[in-house]
Amino acid sequence: MKRRNFLKSMAAVGASAVLPNTWPTAFNLSTMYQAADAAIDYAGAQIAAPTIMPQVINIYLYGGPSELSGNLTNIVDIDSSSQNSYANAFGSGLLRFQNDPSGGLITPNGFWSGAGGDDMQFLLDGNHMSVYRTLMKRKDGTRSHRESILMSQKGSLDIENSAGVGTRVAAMLYQNRGSFEGGTSFADGSAVDMDDLVLPFVSFEGETRVFATDPDYAVPLLLRGTTLNEDLEDPYTRQNNGNATKLDAMVSKKLADFGYNSRYTNVINSNDLREYLAQKIGLIQSASGILPTVSELADQATLGLPNGSTRMSYPNNNRYSDRIQAAVTLAIENSSSMYITVGGGLGGWDDHNNGIDNYPDRMSQLFDALKSAALHIKYSGTQTAGVAGTPGGGVNRRTDNIVINVFGDFGRRVNLNNSEGWDHGNNQNLYTIGGAGVVSAANGGANRQLGKVVGRTERVGDPGTNNQVTEPQAGSYEIEPMSVAASVYSYFGVQNPEILTADPDRNPAGDAAIDETVAGEPALF
């Protein structure tokens, strides 16, 4: 019996066994007990290995942010249909363009000035970022946090007992190592050797489902996700008392016993990673903390650098700065860090209430930090004209292989509810930053294309009710959450990333990578 069929039959038996006959048959416990589906066909990935290995930073906004800071194109209709007035809540300027004689908060590309919109506009105008406004969950419209997070972080509709996106990247690289070793180098020019990678997959958010293991394929320990804290501190190194060698030798004797070893595998692996990080963390620490100089006046101005100062900085009193700076620093200083996750506690963007007070400020802080990240990357790389490329560690490298993706669980309703917030919706924005030197198969082999807004939306739902959302307009380009994962795979050279997002039952065709050649929407004014 094939594994998949076996699991399916097992699930069926279990589900029927747990439900007494008298219970309503309309309910089942399948969501609790879904089994993993068919094994992922990593070897079936067709690889056109990139010359330079990409590096992806995945910033996940737990809770699911409202799309409005990045999309006010429907705001007049939304305001007139909402149960509670946006104009009253945020000021009437929210309904007007910035060039309106009365003043307004809508930027040329429809961003919300005062909610990160000015920094979004800067990033867009400087070709640092593109925005996809129609990241829409249609294949599975669940508005549950859990299901949506897992869908995004596993890049699949098969969310139970399945591998995370980071694990899928790792497995794909390892199973196809012959395609990368020899032909691809890291951005600092070093060769790719799958047996000797330094911090290839890193989480700055503790344990995350992005690195959920694959039940059908165990990637080598070094390619599994490791966790760092945002201060790049070293909790890994033991205090040494001189007996370590003898005591560790005793432990090694125990581990030589296969039964013992397999019994405690998980903790043994964690301890191995701890020891490994103890050896490596010092190198990262010593390289961090020195930011590059900023040569262009416009960039100096937007960073608010004091007169005469050219050393870039991240914003102070900003809840996102430290973690984003740490992730970018790691990517720059350690070009073999290929997939890095950054997130916060769930609930951070789950603005069911009090959005008026919190959301604009939070969005402003996020994009202030992301703007610094984009310039940190820009001025640390040799690809920037007139810049020597001297990041803190003195690494001489390009940095246009670094991609930052920003998105969350789902979008939100657009009706402003009675608690001054927004309930769960299904359409959200994807903000994708940097990586101008990265190629994607979905682009016909062309590089990533930045500096545009893709996708048109419209408000739908009965006015005066809570059930109002935006959806892609007819004919608009739109993508599923799995497409974000597919794009990541394509950056690593996978020509058929659908194979890594497919699921025989729920999503047999899988999802393609984002076509970044789709034309952007024109500016509003």
DSSP 152-169: HHHTSS--SS---HHHHH
**Residue with smaller CB distance to other proteins, 421 or 455:** 421
Residue (236 or 477) nearer to other proteins, CB: 236
Residue with smaller CB distance to other proteins, 33 or 477 = 33
Tell me which stretch binds other proteins (CB under 8 A): 33-41, 103-111, 116-124, 494-502: 33-41
Query: How far apart are the C-alpha atoms of 511 and 136, rounded to whole Å?
Result: 13
12 touches other proteins (CB under 8 A): no
Q: How far is the CB of 241 from other proteins (least distance, A)?
A: 7
Q: Which of these ranges, 226-234, 289-297, 374-382, 438-446, lies near other proteins under the rule CB under 8 A?
A: 226-234
* Least distance from other proteins to the Cβ atom of residue 173, Å: 20
263 binds other proteins (CB under 8 A): yes
Choice from 96, 128, 133, 145 touching other proteins (CB under 8 A): 145
For residue 67, how many other CB atoms are within 10 A of its CB?
A: 26
Binding-site size for other proteins (CB under 8 A) equals 82
The answer to whether residue 207 forms part of the interface with other proteins (CB under 8 A) is yes
Is the distance from CB of 354 to CB of 421 less than 8 angstroms? yes
Q: Which residues contact 361 (CB under 8 A, 6 or more apart)?
A: none
Of the candidate residues 1, 2, 21, 27, the single one contacting other proteins (CB under 8 A): 27
Q: What angle do CA 352, 358, 359 make, to 5 degrees?
A: 75
Place of tokens 């969005």: 363
Kindly tell me which residue out of 5, 51, 99, 467 binds other proteins, with binding defined by CB under 8 A. 467
Mask 401-430, x = binds other proteins (CB under 8 A)? ----------------xxxxx-xx------
Residues facing residue 105 across a β-bridge: none
Choose between 215 and 392: whose C-beta lies nearer to other proteins: 215
Taking a C-beta distance cutoff of 8 angstroms, is the pair 55, 331 a contact? yes
Residues 278-337 that bind other proteins (CB under 8 A): none
In angstroms, what is the C-alpha Rg of the chain?
Answer: 24
Q: Judged by CB under 8 A, which stretch of 122-130, 270-278, 395-403, 505-513 contacts other proteins?
A: 270-278
Closer to other proteins by CB, 251 or 523: give it: 251
DSSP, collapsed to helix, strand or coil, labels residue 88 as: helix
Q: Is 268 in the site for other proteins (CB under 8 A)?
A: yes
- Taken in order 177, 479, 138, 120, the sign of the CA dihedral is positive
Q: How far apart are CA 189 and CA 185, in angstroms?
A: 6
**Binding flag, residue 215, other proteins (CB under 8 A):** yes
**Which of 277/494 has CB closer to other proteins?**
277
**Which of 80, 85, 271, 396 is close enough to bind other proteins by CB under 8 A?**
271
Q: Is 161 in the site for other proteins (CB under 8 A)?
A: yes
Q: Which residues pair with 424 in a beta bridge?
A: 412
Positions 233 through 252 that interact with other proteins (CB under 8 A): 235-236, 238-239, 241-243, 246-251
Instruction: Name the minimum Å distance from CB 439 to other proteins.
Output: 32
The yes or no reply on residue 35 touching other proteins (CB under 8 A) is yes
Go through 178-205 and write b for each residue having 16 or more CB atoms within 10 A of its CB, e for each that does not: ebbeeebbbbbeeebebeebbbbbbbbb
The three-class DSSP label of residue 405 is strand
CB of 361 to other proteins, least distance (A): 11
Q: Find the binder of other proteins among 106, 277, 324, 438 (CB under 8 A).
A: 277
Indicate whether 147 belongs to the interface with other proteins (CB under 8 A). yes
Helices 321-333 and 265-287: crossing angle in degrees, nearest 10, is 90
Closest CA to 422 of 499, 363, 506: 363
Two tokens, residue 474: 């007819």
Residues 50-89 that bind other proteins (CB under 8 A): none
Among 138, 253, 311, 319, binds other proteins (CB under 8 A): 253
**Distances from the Cα of 111 to the Cαs of 107, 178, 299, 460, in angstroms?**
5, 45, 20, 20
Question: CA-to-CA distance for 303 and 368, rounded, in angstroms?
Answer: 9
